[in-house]
Amino acid sequence: MKKTVSVLIVILIILTSLPLTASAANVVDDAVSWAVGIANDDKHGYDQTNRYGPDYDCSSLLITAYKKAGVNINASYTGDMYDAFIKSGFENVTKNITLSKGTGLKKGDVLLTPGSHTEMVSNVSGSTITVVHASINENGGTTGGKTGDQTKKEICTKPYSNRSGGWTYVLRYKTSASGWIKTGNDWYYKNSSGGNAKGWLIDGENLYYLHATSGVMLKGWQTISGKKYYFRTAKDTPSKGPEGSMCIGWQKISGKWYYLHTTSGVMLTGWQTVSGQKYYLNSSGVMLKGWQTISGKKYYFRTAKDAPSKGPEGSMCAGWQKISDKWYYLNSSGVMLTGWQTVSGQKYYLNSSGVMLKGWQKIFSKWYYFRTATDAPSKGPEGSMLKNGTVSISGKSYKFNADGICTNK
């Protein structure tokens, strides 16, 4: 008897040390029971304006159902449900479900297409699957109907069916006591022992960083071990990923482009080659555009006006480039060239600003003629130097030697 009492005391101590969360089974049963009860009560109909009782819309019905079951969900509509439900102890099980038939679905699963519609699985019996949902009012609209269910279909249960194009997500309440907890405006991740996880955290397909001391989920720009990372904020979600998740690849933040390493998420600087294109990121990680002087050399990186027809915005230009109606020549390394240049067998002269000269030009006290738009392309490329022969220009005959020097001007 004493041994039994001792064991019970130990179990009681362990239970009281765990987070005070209801079991997953009870949460699901309570949420489904409440939602089905609303569907069976004609006092409740569909409305998107007065949506938190007595009428509901598709999202407020499910959000309220799980709140009534004790889950702290900070969601307001289908567009932010994914992020909020994941943070509140749900997991994305879409890949485990055959959406066409509903195989793999369980009671309480949330079917979600962000920005469109959501339903909840209310019962699974063999191959027979039933869902509960709020659909549309008696006028075929979303607002302005009478309070209560006028058609007995505004909020109802029905057989499961896949949406056109398939449900985007299937979310399931986790059986584990661990998961995301929101306290005030801050998110924490409770581990299986009930404590706050700290440091790097992998949750599903996303990577998060929790403050090393408090465990609060970090957002926005963060410096960790001397390296900069960006974690999504509320402005970045839910279309781009869950709030707090680490960003990788190209990211437009506050109107500027950054490139974050595709594996580690570290913000990169300096020269970077991405998908075969070269870019330059300054010391703050910002992608540069337009004319830039780097290590004493001039380069041109495509702007929004140049992209995407000529190449991605911010990518380095090479070869002939017409910029602000002037021609420049950038070598294969992207460096802007000046002076005499031979390109495809033709000689050109680029002034100290890199601009290709045309027409009559006096260079080092000698006269040269470079083809203009009216001379090209039949007689040669625009800007290319005349040489070896006699040419009539503006009604007068001029002679040019092999070096392109005019001998009678």
Tell me the whole-structure pTM to 2 decimals: 0.59
Alpha helices (runs of H) in 88-136, residue ranges in sequence order: none
Rg over CA atoms, the chain: 34
- Backbone phi, psi, residue 212, to 5°: -65, -25
Distance CA 227, CA 225 (A): 6
**Residue 114: what residue type?**
P
Which residue stretches of the chain have pLDDT < 50? 1-22
Strand pairing partners for 158? Answer: 131
Q: What average pLDDT is seen over the chain? A: 89
Number of continuous H segments (helices) and E segments (strands) in the chain = 4, 26
* pLDDT score of 14: 25
| Structure-block tokens of residue 302 | 């495509």
* pLDDT score of 288: 98
* pLDDT score of 19: 33
Nearest by Cα to 206 from 245, 233, 235: 245
How many CA atoms within 13 Å lie on the side-chain side of 147?
6
Three-state secondary structure string covering 304-371: CCCCCCCCCCCCECCEEEEECCEEEEECCCCCECCEEEEECCEEEEECCCCCECCEEEEECCEEEEEC
Distance CA 252, CA 362 (A): 47
Distance CA 23, CA 78 (A): 25
pLDDT in tens, 270-319: 999 999 999 999 999 999 999 999 999 999 999 988 866 678 999 999 99
Distance CA 219, CA 214 (A): 14
**DSSP characters for 282-309?**
-TT-PBP-EEEEETTEEEEE--TTTTTT
Distance CA 51, CA 47 (A): 6
* pLDDT score of 177: 57
- Are the C-beta atoms of 371 and 381 separated by less than 8 Å? yes
| Structure-block tokens of residue 240 | 């781009």
* pLDDT score of 6: 36
Distance CA 375, CA 383 (A): 9
Q: How many CB atoms lie within 10 A of CB 167?
A: 20
* pLDDT score of 5: 31
* pLDDT score of 9: 30
Three-state secondary structure string covering 145-200: CCCCCCCCCCEEEEECCCCCCCCCEEEEECCCCCEEEEECCEEEEECCCCCECCEE
